[in-house]
Amino acid sequence: MRRRHKFFLWAVLLLTQFLWGAPFADASVVYTYTGKDFQECCVDTPYTTSDSVTGSITLSSALGDNLSGQMLSIGTGVDPIISFSFSDGEQTISTTNFSSELFYFSTGSTGSISQWYVLLTDPNGFIATFDFYGMVYDQGLLDNPPYPGGFTSVPGSWSTPLPATFPLFATSLGGLGLLGWLRRRKLQAVAV
């Protein structure tokens, strides 16, 4: 009976690893950007001081460590962009409606984004976020007279995604902990 119990536990553990870990093995990576609110001095209606640049970029793999001005674009380059979507509170530019896109990234020693330049255009305007070589701004502009826009010179921040293998590692660690607990329990039962 104990042998069957141990076999069943191993089977469940392996099945869990396969079902939960397999989708993450070749998973894409999503970086999200959260900008600061536009500054009062630099807002034209319909923009407000509660608008800001926000967005996300989905890459086929994580950015590497210590990149210096790596240019990325849709389907090309070292880490091709699968999709993106950015908003400035009044317009959204994404992979479904953009006219042009420009992405440059630098990363630190852990692969987190340290400097960036993102410029997206569509027929109705543009969205930009920039923190590169000492120049910092987030901006949105509508391309119709009187060309209203919003601007801030305070940098936002990028999220650093977890490694795709993290859920697989966590499941393995949990399974080993469960096996150790069962073994201790068995040894305590024999000692009594």
* 26 or 48: which leads in pLDDT: 48
The answer to the question of residue 53 being in a domain is yes
**Mean pLDDT of the 97-101 span:** 92
Per-residue pLDDT, 132: 87
Mean pLDDT of the chain: 80
The answer to the question of residue 21 being in a domain is no
The answer to the question of residue 2 being in a domain is no
**Structural domain that includes position 100:** 28-172
pLDDT tops 70 at residue 9? no
Report pLDDT digits (tens) over 34-61.
999 999 888 889 999 999 999 999 988 8
**Mean pLDDT of the 16-42 span:** 73
The answer to the question of residue 188 being in a domain is no
The answer to the question of residue 92 being in a domain is yes
* 67 or 165: which leads in pLDDT: 67
pLDDT tops 90 at residue 12? no
Number of domains in the chain: 1
The answer to the question of residue 166 being in a domain is yes
**DSSP letter string over the chain?**
-HHHHHHHHHHHHHHHHHHHHHHHHT--EEEEEEEEEPPGGGB-TT--TT-EEEEEEEESSPPPTT--SEEEBBTBSSS-EEEEEEE-SS-EEETTT-SEEEEEEEE-TTS-EEEEEEEEEETTEEEEEEEETTEEEEEEEESSTT--EEEE-S--EE--PPPTTHHHHHHHHHHHHHHHHHHHHHHHHHH-
Rounded to two decimals, the pTM is 0.71
The answer to the question of residue 36 being in a domain is yes
The answer to the question of residue 22 being in a domain is no
